């Protein structure tokens, strides 16, 4: 005859068994994975934060160096020159668009000047131009007037005033009426 132990069922339940398909086991594994992932991300963030602090201190050191400050100053100067160039190009295109003063006019005018004569002032109102020149002698002034008349730029060239300067030179103001159209 066989003996039956009716309390054997209760004895087995008190022992601990892990079932891989148990929802409690799967939930515990998922929670453990979430905790491990969170710890990994926190560690990663901490390491990256330390790297950012180190890089920031290196950048601060570089920005305080004289070479960096000089490079920034040069960069600002280059930017200012580029802005000046673009502004000058815009002004020059407006002059050429309005047919008032062009580089061709200025080059033709400067080619007419004797070597010893310098242009000190140039005003233009519509077709009337007023020039102020400095010359060493009256002979240079007469040569200047003759060259301006023969330049093909002006209909009429006349003296406005001629004065002697303190250095012994001559300052002359000349009025000229521009020709319509292109220079000859």
Contact status, residue 144 vs residue 114, Cβ threshold 8 Å: yes
165/172 Cα distance (integer angstroms) = 10
CATH of 100-178, one of 3.40.50.150, 3.90.78.10, 3.30.1360.100, 3.40.640.10: 3.30.1360.100
Residue 182 confidence (pLDDT) = 45
pTM of the model: 0.43
From first to last of its 184 residues, the chain has per-residue pLDDT tens of 677 776 666 665 555 667 788 888 999 999 999 999 999 999 999 999 999 999 999 999 999 999 999 999 999 999 999 999 888 777 767 666 665 566 777 777 788 888 888 888 888 877 788 889 999 888 888 888 888 888 888 888 888 888 888 888 899 999 988 876 544 4
Q: How, if at all, do strands 170-178 and 154-164 pair?
A: antiparallel
158/6 Cα distance (integer angstroms) = 139
33/70 Cα distance (integer angstroms) = 54
172/70 Cα distance (integer angstroms) = 47
Q: b vs e for 164-178, b when ≥16 Cβ sit within 10 Å of the residue's Cβ?
A: eeeeebbbbebbbeb
Residue 148 confidence (pLDDT) = 86
Helix %, strand %, coil % for the chain, to 5?
Answer: 55, 20, 25
170/137 Cα distance (integer angstroms) = 6
Contact status, residue 87 vs residue 132, Cβ threshold 8 Å: no
Nearest-Å Rg of the Cα atoms of the chain is 46
């Amino acid at each position: 005859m066989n003996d039956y132990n009716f309390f054997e069922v209760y004895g087995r339940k008190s022992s601990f068994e892990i079932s891989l398909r148990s929802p409690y086991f799967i939930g515990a594994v998922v929670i453990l994975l979430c905790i491990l992932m969170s710890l990994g991300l926190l560690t990663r963030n901490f390491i990256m934060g330390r790297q950012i602090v180190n890089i920031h201190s290196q950048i601060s050191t570089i920005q305080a160096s004289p070479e960096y400050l000089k490079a920034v100053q040069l960069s600002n100067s280059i930017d200012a020159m580029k802005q000046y160039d673009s502004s000058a190009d815009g002004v020059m295109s407006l002059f050429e668009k309005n047919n008032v003063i062009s580089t061709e006019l200025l080059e033709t005018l400067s080619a007419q000047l004797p070597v010893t004569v310098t242009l000190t002032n140039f005003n233009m109102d519509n077709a009337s131009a007023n020039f102020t020149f400095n010359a060493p002698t009256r002979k240079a002034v007469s040569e200047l007037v003759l060259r301006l008349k023969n330049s093909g730029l002006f209909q009429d060239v006349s003296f406005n005033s001629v004065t002697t300067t303190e250095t012994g030179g001559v300052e002359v103001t000349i009025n000229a009426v521009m020709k319509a159209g292109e220079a000859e």
